[in-house]
Amino acid sequence: METLKVSSKSNPNSVAGALANVFREKGTVEIQAIGAGALNQAIKAIAIARGFVAPMGDNLVTIPAFSDIEIDGEKKTAIKEYAGRQKTIRQLAQKYGVSYEIMRRIMVNAGYSNGLKVR
């Protein structure tokens, strides 16, 4: 998985373009930020990138996680955002050849609400 490193001085539009390109090409991408300013720029870039890929029917979603990294021999904690595609209930229904309503019931019974596991 390709990692995009974001700093507090990163231009959110530039990062969003790179993020959207890697997302379109590979389907997943990792965004790494260290510090509040870098995280702020990363979140802005993710919001902008979602707008870039939405017209093609893609829904870019991220999952945040902490990551211990080493820079110049110094240990730091980074925040990584793992980005990937979220399929809609309608897309899943088409893939499995069932109606939207049946797929929605399957997802609710499995504990999913708005694409998120709630149980």
pLDDT in tens, 67-106: 999 999 999 999 999 998 877 777 778 888 998 888 888 8
Q: Name the 3-class secondary structure at 50.
A: helix
Q: CA 88, 93, 97: angle at the middle one, nearest 5?
A: 155
Q: Name the 3-class secondary structure at 118.
A: coil
Token output for 74: 């110094």
How far apart (Å, rounded) are the C-alpha atoms in residues 76 and 60?
Answer: 27
Beta-ladder partners of 71: 74
The reported pTM is: 0.74
Residue 46 clears pLDDT 90, i.e. is over it? yes
For residue 111, what is the DSSP state? T
Token output for 60: 């870019």
